[in-house]
Amino acid sequence: MKQIEDRINGIVRTLLDDYDNNRVIDEVKSFDHPDKEVVVEIIYSIRKIIFPGYFRNKSYRVYTVRNNISMILEDVIFKLIRQISIVLHYDSEFADADELTLAKRAEDITFEFLGKLPMIREYIEMDVEASFEGDPAAYNKDEIIYSYPGLFAILVNRIAHELFLLRVPLIPRIMTEYAHSRTGIDIHPGASIGKYFFIDHGTGIVIGETTEIGDNVKIYQGVTLGALSTRGGQSLRSKKRHPTIEDNVTIYSGASILGGNTVIGRNAVIGGNAFITKSVPAGAKVSIVNQELRFNFDDPKAAQTAKAQQDTDWFYII
C-alpha cells in the first residue's frame, strides 16, 4: 500500500513540475470557467419552454402550464445570469469589470435573450412544418419533435444564435458543439438561418460562421457550407468567409459550397457531391455530369442496354 502511495505522489510531483512550463494549457485563470454541464441543462430547460406539452420537468408536481413554465424560467434565469457573468471576462470590454458590473450586464443580456423566445418558438414551429412537409418518411410531427437530430441541431442553433448576437462569449459555441457531438451536425452559432429550414438525415453537415441561409431551404447529409481557405487564420476573423444560400434552395448530399462571395440563387438545386466555389444563378440545377456507372456483362448488348437506362436525374437521389 505504501509503495502505491509513493508512486502516486511521484506522479503528482511530476505533473506539478510540468504545470510550470508557462504554456496555454498550464494557465490557471483568475476567474471562474463556465460550467459546460450547466450550459447543457440550460439548453434542455429552454427546450421545455419551446415545447411545453412535449418536454415537461417530471420533478415538478404542478398542474398548470403557467406554474411549470414559471419554475423552469426561474431556473434558466438563475443559471444563465451566472454563466454569462463568468464568460463576460472573455470580452475585452469587461476584462477588468467588478462582479457587480458583470452581474448587472449578465442580467440585462439574459432578459433580452428571454424576450426572443416567442420569436424562436415561431421559427421552430415553421422548422417542424418544413420537416414534415419535406420528408415522406415522417408519419407525424411528434416523431420529428422527439427524434429528428436535424430539428434538435436547428433548435440549439436558434438559441445559441440569439446569444451570439448579444455578444455573449463562449456559451453559444458550447451549445452548438454539444449539438454537434449529439447529432453529427456542425452549425456555428454565428450562422444566420431563415424560416422553414429542413435538415434531412444530417450527419456530416457543416455550416460555417458567416453563412447566410434564406427561407425554405433544404439540406441533406454531408453538405458543407464552408470557407475557401482558412490559411489566413485570425486575420480572417469577422470577414465573410462562407456562402449565402437564398430562398427555396435544395442542396443534396455530399455537396460542398465554399467562399464568402459565393451566392446560390433562389430556387436553385445543387446536386449530390457538387463542389462549388462560384455563384449559381437563380433557378439553376447543378449536377456532376462527368461520372458514369459501368456495367460488365458477358453479353455486350445487355451492357449497352444497362448504360442507356441510367437515370440522368441521379443527383436528386439521397
pLDDT value of position 293: 65
Give the domain 191-318 fold.
Answer: UDP N-Acetylglucosamine Acyltransferase; domain 1 (2.160.10)
Per-residue pLDDT band at 302 (split at 50, 70, 90): low
Alpha carbon distance 267, 155 (integer Å) = 25
Mean pLDDT of the chain: 89
pLDDT tops 90 at residue 188: yes
Report pLDDT digits (tens) over 30-87.
Answer: 557 899 999 999 999 999 999 988 877 665 555 566 777 888 999 999 999 999 999 9
In percent, how much of the chain has pLDDT > 90? 68
pTM of the predicted model as reported, rounded to 2 decimal places: 0.86
Report pLDDT digits (tens) over 110-163.
Answer: 999 999 999 999 999 999 999 999 999 999 999 999 999 999 999 999 999 999
Question: Which of residues 53 and 286 earns the better pLDDT score?
Answer: 286
State the average pLDDT over residues 264-277: 96
Alpha carbon distance 294, 283 (integer Å) = 31
Alpha carbon distance 9, 199 (integer Å) = 52
State the average pLDDT over residues 91-116: 94
pLDDT value of position 311: 56
C-alpha cell of 15?
Answer: 505533473
Angle formed at CA 208 by CA 202 and CA 214, multiple of 5 degrees: 75
Alpha carbon distance 279, 286 (integer Å) = 11
Domain boundaries, the chain: 30-188, 191-318
Report pLDDT digits (tens) over 225-263.
Answer: 999 876 667 767 778 999 999 999 999 999 999 999 999
Alpha carbon distance 133, 248 (integer Å) = 14
For domain 30-188, the CATH class is mainly alpha
84 alpha-carbon distance from chain centroid:
20
